[in-house]
Amino acid sequence: MSETILEVKHLKTYFFNGSSVLRASDDLSYSVKKGECVAIVGESGSGKSVSALSVMRLIPYPPGLTLDGEILFHGKDLLKLSDEEMGQIRGSKISMIFQEPSTALNPVMTIGAQICESLMIHQHMRKKDAMKRAVELLAAVNIPNPEQRVKQYPFEFSGGMQQRAMIAMAMSCNPELLIADEPTTALDVTVQAQVLEQLNKLREDMGTALIIITHNLGVVARYADSVKIVYGGKIVEEGNTYDVFEHPHHPYTIGLINAVPRLDLPRSHGLHTIEGEPPDMSTIPVDSCAFAGRCKYATEECRTKRPPLEHLEGEHYCACFHMDAAVKEAP
């Protein structure tokens, strides 16, 4: 059995705005094994990215604050480390590919200089050796003419090349865990496939664990070993990717899957949508199902009690009082 390298236990990260409290991660728990690909899935505003930023300890304060929980990396609680100790882990043992490379990359530093900075800090390389390694990393992510590209600035790269440069930077120190936050945002389909294949190849070659944060279920089905469905800052369903996709139990999971266009069904099947919009998380009652406002199965129990994650089979769990009815009516 693979070693568990990351355990997130009962994480609570909130944002405060005057008298309102936005519970972006509300009692979130999950684990990641060495070499595993875990997908965190949900609509925009569901709290996916906040969980990743919490692991990296990059939540801006104010207004954000991690109030409770544990983030154990090889058994060491990252929330209890000093800024200096966390700085030694961030970028070295745990790296992150951010959603918008155009804003994550420093516009006044060359791509090579930005990769070298990480190598010189964490690997204690000399500048000459670091630059040589930067060229090798750009070549590894299929950027043409890497010897020339290391001398160029981010604005001289296309969106896809910027994303690949971010991957090269994130992998420069051979991290044990890589977090990719919407790694294919704003990329065309061909470049998306190239970026995802590159991430998967690096995972297979180096044994790096990968957390992919996305709303693209096609990406999850192809690359993820397990999936966490997040809504309103809470995990509503989780398990092996095959089990969750083939036998979804939560009305939200069923809705997400049904919203994906399928070529194997007649046109008369149409496209399904989830009615309503993701809620303002500052207005969700603490003791309630976050999805109750959009769920046709919701009862008073859903509005006054928080459903626990119930074990279904194997590693499959679901938090819903009316999952049997949802499964029975699922198309």
In tens, the pLDDT along 126-149 reads 999 999 999 999 998 889 999 999
Model confidence over 203-260: pLDDT tens digits?
A: 888 889 999 999 889 899 999 999 999 999 999 999 999 999 999 999 999 999 988 8
CA nearest to 116, candidates 97, 131, 135, 132: 131
Cα separation values, 280 from 24, 192, 233, 276, 287, Å: 10, 30, 11, 12, 15
In this predicted structure, the answer to whether residue 268 has a pLDDT above a threshold of 90 is no
Q: What is the number of alpha carbons within 13 Å of residue 146 lying toward its C-beta? A: 18
Look at residue 256 and tell me if it is in a domain: yes
Look at residue 40 and tell me if it is in a domain: no
Contact 233, 28 (CB under 8 A): yes
Q: How far apart are CA 18 and CA 176, in angstroms?
A: 39
Q: What is the pLDDT of residue 125?
A: 94
Contact 38, 227 (CB under 8 A): yes
Look at residue 205 and tell me if it is in a domain: no
Look at residue 138 and tell me if it is in a domain: no
Q: At what angle do helices 111-122 and 127-140 cross, to 10 degrees?
A: 120
Look at residue 314 and tell me if it is in a domain: yes
Q: What is the pLDDT of residue 206?
A: 85
Q: What is the pLDDT of residue 264?
A: 77
C-alpha triplet 29, 326, 253: angle, nearest 5°? 40
The first and second tokens of residue 310, run together, are: 């119930």
Q: What is the mean pLDDT of residues 174-198?
A: 85
In this predicted structure, the answer to whether residue 34 has a pLDDT above a threshold of 60 is yes
Query: Residue 324 sits in which domain range?
Result: 234-331
The 3-state DSSP class for residue 209 equals: strand
pLDDT cut 70: percent of the chain above it = 99
Q: How far apart are CA 285 and CA 216, in angstroms?
A: 28
Count of domains in the chain? 1
Q: What is the pLDDT of residue 186?
A: 67
Look at residue 294 and tell me if it is in a domain: yes
In this predicted structure, the answer to whether residue 1 has a pLDDT above a threshold of 60 is no
Model confidence over 74-133: pLDDT tens digits?
A: 999 999 999 999 999 998 999 999 888 888 899 999 999 999 999 999 999 999 999 999
Amino acid, single-letter form, for residue 123: Q
Q: What is the pLDDT of residue 19?
A: 85
Helix H or strand E segment including 112: helix 111-122
Q: How far apart are CA 165 and CA 112, in angstroms?
A: 9
- Per DSSP, 294 falls in state G
Look at residue 36 and tell me if it is in a domain: no
C-alpha triplet 224, 227, 230: angle, nearest 5°? 140
In this predicted structure, the answer to whether residue 15 has a pLDDT above a threshold of 80 is yes
Tell me the average pLDDT of the chain. 91
- Residue 193 confidence class, pLDDT cut points 50, 70, 90: confident
The 3-state DSSP class for residue 229 equals: strand
- Count of C-beta atoms within a 10 Å radius of residue 157: 19
Q: What is the mean pLDDT of residues 45-67?
A: 92
Pairing of strands 37-41, 226-231: parallel
Residue for token digits 């949802």? Answer: 326
Q: What is the pLDDT of residue 99?
A: 83
In this predicted structure, the answer to whether residue 318 has a pLDDT above a threshold of 90 is yes
The 3-state DSSP class for residue 316 equals: strand
Q: 317 forms bridges with which residues in the sheet?
A: 238, 311
Q: How far apart are CA 329 and CA 290, in angstroms?
A: 21
Q: What is the pLDDT of residue 137?
A: 92
Look at residue 6 and tell me if it is in a domain: no
Q: What is the pLDDT of residue 192?
A: 81
pLDDT cut 90: percent of the chain above it = 68
